[in-house]
Amino acid sequence: MKGLLLKELYGFYAIGKSLLLIPVVILGLFLLNGEGVTLSALFSILPPVVSLISIILATSSVNMDSASKWNSYAVTLPVSRRQIIQAKYLICIGAGCLIQILVLILRLAFSGGEGWAGILVEFLVTMGVQVIPVSVLFPLMIRFGPEKSRLVLALIFGLVGASLPLIGFNEGFTGLELGNGLLSSPTALAGGAAAVLAFLAVLLGLSYSLSVRFFCRQEL
């Protein structure tokens, strides 16, 4: 399993320089939007950047395996097909989720408790932007291949790209306060957050199960 994880990381190293351009470009857009470069500002754009990179890593992983015929070789190794899929999910989604949680903890710590409700809502949104597209992409690309999934890929990248300014550049999240709807009380917010995270966990589990099933049925 360790070898599979390293294989995924080595593959992403080839596109690492391109990925580094993403936070640079988004930071530039942030500055053009008139926002100052503060620690809080950097924290606010990091979660959507991580979401976008996770989606790119997921598509790149399947594309590289398809182009190099890796799967035909991988099935001869002393690893199961389930483990091959596990490595992709752990690197592309698991690592991104851990970074999102770390950023959430740091934002709450540096904010001193001010605006915590908005920070939590933004965290839930960015987790959704990360988990939902990748959960949809992996089974589709494994079942139909990268070529036949291009239309869905373009649609997802378009939707995610359009959502980034609303997440990273919008002060509406950080300005949210307890008082109405989902934010009527800390208990209501905690319940809503738990429901969202549970939904994402179920969706991710379903996506993983479908990906394993499709991959196990492939003739390599």
CA distance 70 to 64: 8
Record the pTM: 0.75
Task: Choose the most confident range, by mean pLDDT, from 60-64, 98-102, 167-171, 201-205.
Answer: 201-205
CA separation for the pair 199, 18 (Å, rounded)? 32
Asked if 9 and 91 count as a contact pair (C-beta separation under 8 A), the reply is yes
The more confidently predicted of residues 29 and 167 is 29
Summarised one tens digit per residue, pLDDT across range 79-93 is: 888 888 888 888 888
Residue 128: predicted pLDDT: 84
Q: Which two tokens stand for residue 94?
A: 């698991």
Residue 30 in tokens? 């942030």
Q: What is the pLDDT of residues 2-36, one digit of tens each?
A: 777 777 777 667 676 676 676 677 667 666 665 55
- How far, in Å, CA of 208 to CA of 134, rounded? 10
CB 179 within 8 A of CB 70: no
- What amino acid is encoded at 34 in this protein? G
Is residue 129 a contact partner of residue 163, using CB atoms and an 8 Å limit? Answer: yes
107-128 pLDDT, tens digit each: 777 776 666 777 777 788 888 8
Residue 135 has pLDDT above 60, yes or no: yes
- Backbone phi and psi for residue 15, each to the nearest 5 degrees, phi listed first: -110, 10
**Cβ contact 19:56 at 8 Å:** yes
What pLDDT does residue 123 have?
81
Model pLDDT, residue 147: 72
Measured distance CA(209)–CA(139) in Å, rounded: 9
Helices (H), the chain: 2-13, 16-32, 39-68, 70-74, 81-89, 95-111, 116-148, 150-168, 186-217
Give the relative orientation of helices 81-89 and 2-13 as an angle to the nearest 10 degrees: 50
